[in-house]
């Protein structure tokens, strides 16, 4: 409407309409962020006020300012770099191996029917076990070091990567495969030029899901037994009854989880720009 109108009207009027349209457009995009911030701010403010006026027991639910102070204290402590490094190592290595192994298995299962039949029962079994329930066993088997955390990440993620990658391979447009064959593509060329690029959307969805799963796996495994890590900060604070630090650790894990997931979302969009 605005566009049609501004196209017909001349000179100043059309310029004013264009500006109005631009403002409207950007206001529409900005509104979700604005309202979202507003609702979050309201909750935090209400929480702070309730704590200040003694409506809530600050021993168990310290005010936001107290948690922020604890957060700064945690992040600036001498042991924090080691904790962060440990968790990042467990997360990175676990996720990396999962993507590599799960992706490869998925391509093979999507391409060779017999391999799919071979793999299927294992994938269904591993996918059906509640992974977090395995933590006590994994810690007995692999100790409280980083290995047990990586094993849990693998158990949570490989199967997800395998299933998504396989779905991606199987969903590659048949007509595109026929076109490639018609131009004389060999199996290898077909995989390189059609199947691998074509499976990217499914594959990246798998990566995004696994980023979230890996963060949870690392944090929870560290709660059960660890010598360092972000989960270790939380469990140590619990033994000291330091409520503020516990909340600070939760906030930290949440923020890191969101940041990593959003990075994966961005990467997913970047790699699937060719889609409509």
Partner 1 sequence: MGMMDKLPSETAPEDGRAVKLDVRGSRVSFPSKKGRFVAVDGIDLAVKEGEFVAIVGPSGSGKSTFLMALDGLVPLSGGTITVEGKEVYGPGPDRAVVFQEACLLPWRTVLDNVAYGLELRGRPKAERHAVARDLIQLSGLAGFEQFYPRQLSGGMRQRVNIARALAADPAVLMLDEPFSGLDAQTRETMQGELLKIWDERKKTAIFVTHQIDEAVYLADRVIAFSKCPARIVAEWEIPFPRPRPLSIKHSDEHRRIENEIWKVLQREGAFAAH
Nearer residue to partner 1 within complex by CB, 179 or 266: 179
Q: Is the separation of the CB atoms in 208 and 161 below 8 Å?
A: no
216, 155 Cβ separation under 8 angstroms: no
Please report how close the Cβ of residue 179 comes to partner 1 at its closest, in angstroms.
4
Q: Is residue 258 part of the contact set for partner 1 (CB under 8 A)?
A: no
Length of the chain (residues):
276
Site membership for partner 1, residue 267 (CB under 8 A): no
> CA–CA separation, 140 vs 138, rounded Å?
5
> Taking CB under 8 A as the rule, does residue 128 contact partner 1?
no
Tell the smallest beta-carbon distance from residue 77 to partner 1 (Å). Answer: 47
Q: Which stretch binds partner 1 (CB under 8 A): 52-60, 187-195, 218-226, 261-269?
A: 187-195
Structural contact between residues 21 and 3, judged by C-beta atoms closer than 8 angstroms: yes
Minimum CB distance to partner 1 smaller for 14 or for 193: 193
Among 127, 147, 193, 261, binds partner 1 (CB under 8 A): 193
**What residues contact 91, with CB distance under 8 A and at least 6 apart?**
153, 214, 215, 218, 260
Q: Identify the DSSP state of 258.
A: H
Q: Yes or no: say if 223 and 234 are a contact pair by the CB < 8 Å rule.
A: yes
Using the minimum distance from each CB to partner 1, give the nearer residue, 78 or 276: 276
Q: Does 269 bind partner 1 (CB under 8 A)?
A: no
Size of the site for partner 1 (CB under 8 A): 20
Q: Taking the CA of residue 115 as centre, how many other CA atoms within 13 Å lie in the half-sphere pointing to its CB?
A: 11
Q: Which residues bind partner 1 (CB under 8 A)?
A: 173, 175-176, 178-185, 189, 193-194, 197-198, 200, 274-276
């Amino acid at each position: 409407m605005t566009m049609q109108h501004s196209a017909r009207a001349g000179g100043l009027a059309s310029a004013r309409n264009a500006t109005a349209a631009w403002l409207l457009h950007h206001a529409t995009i900005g509104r979700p962020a604005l309202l979202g911030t507003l609702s979050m701010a309201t909750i935090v403010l209400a929480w702070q006020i309730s704590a200040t006026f003694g409506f809530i027991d600050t021993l168990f639910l310290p005010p936001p300012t107290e948690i922020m102070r604890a957060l700064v204290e945690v992040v600036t402590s001498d042991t924090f770099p080691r904790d962060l490094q440990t968790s990042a190592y467990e997360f990175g290595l676990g996720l990396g191996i999962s993507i590599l192994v799960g992706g490869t298995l998925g391509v093979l299962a999507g391409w060779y029917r017999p391999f799919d039949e071979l793999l299927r029962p294992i994938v269904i079994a591993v996918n059906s076990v509640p992974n977090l329930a395995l933590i006590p066993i994994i810690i007995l088997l692999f100790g409280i070091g980083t290995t047990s955390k990586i094993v849990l990440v693998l158990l949570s993620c490989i199967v997800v990567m395998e299933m998504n990658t396989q779905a991606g391979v199987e969903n590659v447009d048949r007509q595109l495969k026929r076109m490639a064959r018609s131009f004389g593509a060999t199996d290898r060329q077909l995989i390189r030029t059609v199947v691998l690029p074509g499976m990217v959307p499914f594959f990246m969805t798998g990566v995004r899901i696994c980023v979230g799963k890996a963060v949870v796996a690392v944090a929870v495994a560290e709660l059960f037994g660890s010598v360092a890590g972000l989960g270790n900060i939380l469990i140590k604070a619990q033994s000291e009854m330091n409520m503020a630090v516990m909340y600070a650790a939760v906030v930290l894990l949440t923020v890191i989880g969101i940041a990593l997931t959003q990075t994966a979302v961005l990467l997913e969009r970047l790699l699937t720009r060719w889609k409509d």
